[in-house]
Amino acid sequence: MALNYNFTTQALQEDSYSAGEYKDMAVVIPSAYVVVNEGGEESLPYFMLGGHSSATAILSSLTSVIRGFYPMLDHLQIKQAILEGANRTFHGYNADLHGQGMFNLKGALEIAERLRKS
């Protein structure tokens, strides 16, 4: 789930970005400022863009880091590490809006290490 940089409830509701019924399997990815271009190499200059598409790219990249450190874990364990390692301590956290919390690479790696040992 993509959020703007300040995670405000108002922004979530206006953009319909909320975990809702998927709160048990959603994490927040701050993606308001991702540099992109909209076409081929001729499409310059680059510009800032955010939303679900850029959040997906960020989550995929960070998931690859976890997989790189822990190749023995299966996809369900990687998912578990991401969900359990999420940060729920930011101001205004609400499971209905923010799901399991904001993606936290350090927390996910700690959970992955615990899963590797079990």
The per-residue pLDDT for range 13-32, each reduced to its tens digit, is: 444 456 777 788 888 777 65
What confidence score (pLDDT) does residue 36 get?
66
Angle at which helices 105-117 and 52-69 cross, to 10°? 40
pTM for this prediction: 0.76
Q: For residues 28 and 53, which has the higher predicted lDDT (pLDDT)? A: 28
Residue 23 is given by DSSP the state: G
CB–CB of 20/96 below 8 Å?
yes
Average pLDDT over residues 39-59: 68
CATH of domain 2-117: 3.40.50.200
Domain boundaries, the chain: 2-117
Residue 118 CA to residue 99 CA, distance in Å, equals 26
CA dist 13 and 97 (Å) reads: 9
% of the chain beyond a pLDDT of 70: 65
